[in-house]
């Protein structure tokens, strides 16, 4: 205590200047969530390890394939989302509307097309006949159909939304 009493007040108050200058970080402030580390790792893995994220069409709207008008998109989805209605777009301008999270399957089907097997789909056939690569496949989330809270036929609801988008995009 006696040593502290001998020091001047001004010497006790100022912070170390070298620490002030080197600490130019902006503090991150967020709400605390119990499973924050799991969410953080999940988000990181979505963008670093995902085959599909590199080919997503980013933005809150898409251009109509034939009319060129903007169509506003309202839903957000990740690669693990269920009930997704999506649009696949190829370099020649054709679009394909589909449902569920099958983007990875489409890429695989394009690479491994064999006639009259499960890989023989409309998308894989088109990409192979016009010599596109799976790297040229782009996609966008059109809608996410939420599970029906009062019961009902979820598959039928998905098919209805898919048909609505097919008609809307003339695909």
pLDDT in tens, 90-120: 888 888 898 875 666 777 777 777 788 877 8
Return d(Cα 170, Cα 71) in angstroms, integer: 13
Over residues 25-50, mean pLDDT: 49
Q: What is the pTM of this model?
A: 0.61
pLDDT score at 5: 76
pLDDT at 64 over 90: no
Comparing 150 with 2, the larger pLDDT belongs to 150
Rounded to whole angstroms, the Cα distance separating 165 from 111 reads: 27
pLDDT for 30 equals 45
Tell me the C-alpha distance between 145 and 148, whole Å.
Answer: 9
Position 21 pLDDT exceeds 70: no
Mean pLDDT of 4-30: 61
Token digits of residue 14: 């100022």
- Tracing tokens 């060129």 back to the chain, one arrives at 68
Q: Cβ distance 137 to 90 under 8 Å?
A: yes
pLDDT at residue 113, as a whole number: 75
CA distances from 166 to 37, 55, 59, 104, 129 (A): 39, 21, 20, 21, 23
Going by their DSSP bridges, the two strands 84-89 and 70-72 should be labelled as: unpaired
Please tell me which residue, 72 or 13, carries the higher pLDDT value: 72
Res. 28 pLDDT band, cuts 50 70 90: very low
Name the percent of the chain lying above pLDDT 70: 70
Average pLDDT over residues 121-144: 84
Q: Any idea which residue has 């590199």 for tokens?
A: 54
Q: Whole-angstrom Cα distance, residue 161 to residue 144?
A: 9
Q: What is the pLDDT of residue 88?
A: 84
Residue 22: per-residue pLDDT? 55
The pLDDT of residue 27 is above 80: no
Contact 103, 52 (CB under 8 A): yes
């Amino acid at each position: 205590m006696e040593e502290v009493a001998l020091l001047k007040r001004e010497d006790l108050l100022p912070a170390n200047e070298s620490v002030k200058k080197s600490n130019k970080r902006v503090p991150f402030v967020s709400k605390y969530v119990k499973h924050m580390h799991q969410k953080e790792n999940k988000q990181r893995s979505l963008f670093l390890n995902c085959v599909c994220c590199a080919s997503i069409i980013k933005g809150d709207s898409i251009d109509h394939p034939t009319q060129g008008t903007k169509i506003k998109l309202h839903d957000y989805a990740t690669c693990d989302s269920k009930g997704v209605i999506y649009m696949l777009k190829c370099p020649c301008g054709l679009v394909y509307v589909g449902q569920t999270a099958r983007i990875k399957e489409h890429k695989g089907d394009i690479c491994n097309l064999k006639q009259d097997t499960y890989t023989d789909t409309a998308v894989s056939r088109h990409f192979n006949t016009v010599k596109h690569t799976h790297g040229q496949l782009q996609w966008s989330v059109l809608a996410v159909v939420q599970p029906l809270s009062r019961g009902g036929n979820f598959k039928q609801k998905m098919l209805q939304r898919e048909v609505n988008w097919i008609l809307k995009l003339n695909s």
